[in-house]
Amino acid sequence: MRVRRLGVVTAGGDCPGMNAALRAIVKAAELEHGIEVVGFQDGFAGLLTDQARPLGFDEVSGILVQGGTILGASNKDDPFRVPVQDGNSTSYVDRSDTALATLSRHRVDGLIVIGGDGSLRIAERLARKGLAVVGVPKTIDNDVAGTDRTLGFDSAVTIATEAVDRLHSTAASHHRLMVIEVMGRNTGWIALEAGLAGGGDVILIPEIPFSYEAIVAGICDRVKRGRRFSILVVAEGARCPNGHTVVRELVKDSPDPVRLGGVGAVVTHALQALLPYEVRYVVLGHVQRGGPPTPFDRILATRFGVAAVSALASGETCGMVALKGGRVERMPLGETAWRTKCVDPECERIGVARSVGTIFGDRPHAQSDTR
């Protein structure tokens, strides 16, 4: 069936590059395929409440450089798990048919979902109900399987790297260990790449267990070599030596209720008791998700958007566009949505970091100097 009108949602958390993807989708749909585009507000919530708006050239003009999303986003709405309050108790109902009815009412032939792993799982379930769906992988965490890079990751790493750069001067001036906590949920991609790019002396990620003794041994070795300060980059999902992650809060009724955060403070207090000089910490937080996208993400968003429209126009019913070896390809959504891409502890980047003396806290012997 020829696609005459497609829908698009920006679901999950916001990140730089989503607007650039919307712009590419609208322009490619109209110019290359003669397809109309309708956007739905606030992720999947717009499908449940019928909040739709037409998207044309005027609506996407000038948004290439803007962060966030003009459609709004939500990481709390799942059409397959809608909370219903009954007195003091909450039950959950499947209202995916309501979402499909909204799309049918707007004569939508296919849906593009710009989202992370949770949103793409919802998209895959909608595809199983007969909806033609193509996913665009976006998340600063870079944890979507099947793609080398997700939209928004490069921007987040750039922001985190700049923060690491800025900590060097204050750490050196006061001879401190500076701890910087970055996002990433249960994977360490941001911490690894920002730490490697910024010359972090210690990098702690969920995929590599660490001990405080190994960290202290490495830092003390740096002190012996005349290095009177150190930078430690820790991913929010890094597991403490007891095997637990630090949870900031639990969000009721959210499909993903666990909000990580606070490991930077825990690591700081533990190391302060073991080191003879001052330890301070910084939590970078949502700054990593804000602001304009990097040139890389603007280009990737444009490539992903064009490829997603082409996929629907050519008859794709359950796919995802992905960056593989520098090329944008299509992947089966069912093979990617239900897996998480974690950092391989034996990967080339980890090996390179170890070769220049980066401490991961998993080896008890002293490390060499990173500078």
Write the pLDDT tens digit of every residue in 170-209. Answer: 998 998 999 999 999 999 999 999 999 999 999 999 999 9
User: What distance in Å separates the CA atoms of residue 276 and residue 223, rounded to the nearest whole number?
Assistant: 11
Give the pLDDT mean for 340-349.
Answer: 96
pLDDT band at 313 (very low <50, low <70, confident <90, very high): very high
Percent of the chain with pLDDT over 70: 97
Q: β-strand 279-283 against 202-204: which pairing, if any?
A: unpaired
User: Annotated catalytic, 141?
Assistant: yes
Judge if 5-151+293-336 and 155-289+344-355 fold alike in CATH terms.
Answer: yes
Question: Residues 194, 161: contact at Cβ < 8 Å?
Answer: yes
pLDDT band at 370 (very low <50, low <70, confident <90, very high): very low
pLDDT band at 2 (very low <50, low <70, confident <90, very high): confident
Give the pLDDT mean for 353-371.
Answer: 75
pLDDT tens, position by position, 116-134 = 999 999 999 999 999 999 9
pLDDT value of position 356: 95
User: What distance in Å separates the CA atoms of residue 165 and residue 157, rounded to the nearest whole number?
Assistant: 12
Dump strand ranges (E) for the chain. 5-10, 36-40, 52-55, 82-86, 89-93, 110-115, 133-137, 177-182, 202-204, 230-235, 247-250, 258-260, 279-283, 318-324, 327-332
pLDDT tens, position by position, 152-176 = 999 999 999 999 999 999 998 998 9
Whether pTM exceeds 0.75: yes
Which homologous superfamily is 155-289+344-355 in?
Phosphofructokinase domain (3.40.50.460)
pLDDT band at 64 (very low <50, low <70, confident <90, very high): very high
Contacts of 62 (CB under 8 A, 6+ apart): none
pLDDT value of position 243: 87
pLDDT value of position 277: 86
Average pLDDT, the chain: 94
Out of 14, 78, 141, 154, the active site residue is 141
Residue 359 has pLDDT above 60, yes or no: yes
Domain 5-151+293-336 has CATH 3.40.50.450: yes
- Residue 297 vs residue 172, higher pLDDT: 297
Residue 368 has pLDDT above 70, yes or no: no
pLDDT value of position 1: 67
Residue 210 has pLDDT above 90, yes or no: yes
- Residue 87 vs residue 237, higher pLDDT: 237
Give me 325's structure tokens. 């070896």
Q: Indicate the domain borders of the chain.
A: 5-151+293-336, 155-289+344-355
Give me 171's structure tokens. 């750490």
Report angle CA 308, 299, 17 to the nearest 5 degrees.
75
pLDDT band at 316 (very low <50, low <70, confident <90, very high): very high
Question: Residues 232, 181: contact at Cβ < 8 Å?
Answer: no
